[in-house]
Amino acid sequence: MFWVRLKSSAVLVVLALLLLLTGGSLLGAAAATLSVIAYRELMHACKVEKDGKAGLLEYVGYAGIFLYYLTMMLTKNFMWGAGCLVLLFLAQMGLYVFRFPRYHAEQVITSCFCALYPAVLFSYVYLTRELQYGAYLVWMIFISSWICDTCAYLAGMAFGKHKLAPVLSPKKSVEGAVGGVAGSALISALFAWIFLTPLTGTAGTAGAAALIGAAGAVISQIGDLAASAIKRNHDIKDYGKLIPGHGGIMDRFDSVLFTAPIIYYLSVAVLQVGH
C-alpha cells in the first residue's frame, strides 16, 4: 500500500506542477472537473438518490457547477459565478416543488450542500492563481495543507500524547496539530523569502507569508476532520477509488478545499495583492 500511495502521490505532484504553472483556462477546467467528481462522491456518500443512480436532482447539480465555472472564468468575477449557484438552488427547489413528493427536503438540501462544498472551495485555487503573484501564492494552498499534513504526522509520531479529536480521529494529537501549523508557517516563510520577497521588494513578506501559512494550516486540519466526520456519519471508509492508495477526490483534497479560500483572502488582505 505504501508504494501504491507513493506512486499516486508522484503522479499528483506532476499534474499539480503542470496545472499550477500553466494556470488560466486549463487550471479552471481542472478545478471544474475535480468539483464535479467530488460532487458525485458526496452525493453517493450521503445517499441522496436512494437507488444509488443519478437522477434529475444530481444532473441539475452538474449543470450548476459547469455554469458556475464557465461564468467565473469568462468574467473573472466571483460574484457573477455565484449567481449561477443561486440559479442552481432555485432549479433544485423547482424540482422539489414540481416533482413533489418524488424528492424530500433533506435530499434537496443535501444536494445543494454537495454541489456548493467542492465547487466553491475548489474555485479558490483558480482565483488565487489569477491574483498578482498568483503563480507563487497558489503554492501556499498546498504548503498549508499537504506540508501541514506531513509535519503533523511526524510531530504526532514523535511527541503526540493529547488527542485532538478522540472520537472522530483517535490518531490525531494536539502536538501533531501544533507541529503541522509550525511546519507550514516555516515552509511558507522560506518559500516567500525565496520567491515572493524579490518580487514585492518588501522585507515583511516572509513574515506575512508565515502568518498566512499558519492560518491556512489550522483551517486545513478542520477540513480534514470535516470530511472524516461526513464519512463517519455515513459509515464509509473512502469517498471513492479514483486515486489508488488515497481513495477519492474528497479523500485527497479535503484539506486543500478549506485552505484555498483562506489563502486567497489573506493574500488579498495581508499582502495586498489584486487581480
- Banded pLDDT at 6 (limits 50, 70, 90): low
- Banded pLDDT at 108 (limits 50, 70, 90): very high
Residues 268 and 170 in one domain: yes
The DSSP element (H or E) to which 170 belongs, if any, is strand 169-173
Residues 154 and 238 in one domain: yes
Residues 255 and 180 in one domain: yes
**Pair type for strands 163-165 and 169-173:** antiparallel
103, 130, 157 — which closes off a domain? 130
pLDDT in tens, 33-80: 999 999 999 999 999 987 766 788 999 999 999 999 999 999 877 888
Residues 175 and 220 in one domain: yes
Q: What mean pLDDT comes out for the span 255-267?
A: 96
Q: How far apart, in whole angstroms, are the C-alpha atoms of residue 50 and residue 274?
A: 45
Residues 239 and 165 in one domain: yes
Is position 65 within any domain?
yes
Quick one: cell of 7?
A: 506512486
Q: How far apart, in whole angstroms, are the C-alpha atoms of residue 193 and residue 223?
A: 27
Q: Kindly report the pTM of this predicted structure.
A: 0.93
Residues 229 and 168 in one domain: yes
**Residue that is written with C-alpha cell 433533506 in the block:** 106
100, 130, 160 — which closes off a domain? 130
List the one residue out of 174, 264, 254, 175 whose CA is nearest residue 216: 264
Q: What is the pLDDT of residue 267?
A: 95
pLDDT in tens, 216-256: 999 999 999 999 999 999 999 999 888 887 889 999 999 99
Please give the span between the terminal C-alpha atoms of the chain, in angstroms, as a whole number.
Answer: 42
Residues 136 and 271 in one domain: yes
Residues 80 and 143 in one domain: no
pLDDT above 60 (res 126): yes
Burial of 173 (0-12, 13-18, 19+ CB in 10 A): buried
Please list, in sequence order, all residues whose beta carbon lies within 8 angstroms of the beta carbon of residue 101, skipping any fewer than 6 positions away. none
Is position 1 within any domain?
no
Residues 256 and 233 in one domain: yes
Is position 160 within any domain?
yes
Q: What is the pLDDT of residue 230?
A: 95
Is position 12 within any domain?
no
Residues 151 and 234 in one domain: yes
Whether residue 101 has a cis bond before it, omega within 30° of 0? yes
pLDDT in tens, 145-155: 989 999 999 99
Domain extent, residue 268, equals 131-275
Q: What is the pLDDT of residue 78?
A: 80
Residues 124 and 247 in one domain: no
Please list, in sequence order, all residues whose beta carbon lies within 8 angstroms of the beta carbon of residue 260, skipping any fewer than 6 positions away. 121, 122, 124, 125, 128, 141
Q: How many domains does the chain have?
A: 2
pLDDT above 90 (res 273): no
Residues 80 and 177 in one domain: no
Is position 13 within any domain?
no
